[in-house]
Amino acid sequence: MIYTVTLNPALDYFVELEQVNLGAVNRSNYDYKAPGGKGINVSRVLKRLGHQSEALGFIGGFTGAYIKDVVEKEDIKTNFIQVTGDTRINIKIKSEQESEINGVSPEITSEHLEQLHTQLSVLNEGDALVLAGSVPAMIPSEIYEVLCKSVIERNAEVFIDSSGEAMTKVLEAQPTFIKPNHHELGELFSVKLHEPQEAIPYVRELLGKGIEYVLVSFAGDGAVLGTKDQILFANTPKGEVKNSVGAGDSVVAGFLAAKTENMTLEDSFKFAVATGSATAFSKGFAEREKVEALMLEINIKVLE
């Protein structure tokens, strides 16, 4: 079974307007709401690829109820822990420039964290856990490291998509898979990365920590996948980018789905990149038919 954890979900409120006038009333041309949170996104994409998962995390209030309702209507199992207070609202403004206003997370107590530990205690060999997204300020930044260690000890696999201190600390727990983008990889090593070839020594260093797969995305410039045996490069398919939200999460979902289906490493890499691109080229999330079509446009090259 695949489990996804979103510690810091949100109700994302998208607003489109011609121009933002500060200090004045602004009227939107179009708006919509959607569940937000990287782990939740992974569950939603997995479902579209034909794989069931169970979405875990912390939700509360009317906003949390909305997230739960939307996810369950997509026939995705949830087991969210209810907290006091409302799940945050993130406002995403699409105008002449894109801007975001992220809300404040509700309080998460030690009792809530203990409930999460109990939920994850059922994982065993053959299960996979996705830990994705930011860690709320009131939760210790080593939470991913702690959860990862406990799950790895029971021979389940752990997939990480995060950044900052949470990502830095979890590396020592030897997760199965990590997916930094090139900016996040640069932050880990205090360098600027501009092209895929420059990522190779840093991918090698991460693999040396015992991580099995390191996938680094370079947006439209392709992606790099490293294992202990080789480092591969995949180009990005051509297409019009309509939606950047969830593209990175889709890469994680795509790789996990391919691995679950026992695809070869090269095909798993192609499937992951194609899934991210299919989301980017859509107004919603990737659909399997589009993913399989885009795979035909991706070529794999051995870098090392």
Q: Quick check: is 229 catalytic?
A: no
Name the E strands within the chain: 2-6, 10-16, 30-36, 53-59, 77-78, 81-82, 88-94, 98-102, 128-132, 157-161, 177-178, 213-217, 223-226, 231-234, 300-302
**Identified catalytic residue from 12, 31, 249, 267:** 249
Helix, strand and coil in the chain, % to nearest 5: 40, 25, 40
Alpha-carbon gap, residue 124 to 105, rounded angstroms: 31
CB 130 within 8 A of CB 3: yes
Measure the CA–CA gap between 101 and 301, rounded to whole angstroms. Answer: 40
In this structure, the number of other CB atoms found within 10 A of the CB of residue 173 comes to 22
- Output b/e per residue, 6-34; b: 16+ Cβ within 10 A: bbbbbbbbbbebeeeeeeeeeeeeeeeeb
Q: List the structure tokens of 247.
A: 């593209």
Give a three-class secondary structure readout of 160-226: EECCHHHHHHHHHHCCCEECCEHHHHHHHHCCCCCCHHHHHHHHHHHHCCCCCEEEEECHHHCEEEE
Across-strand partners of 98? Answer: 94
The Cβ-side half-sphere exposure at 271, using a 13 Å CA radius, reads 22
Cross-strand pairs, 94:
16, 98
User: Active-site positions?
Assistant: 249
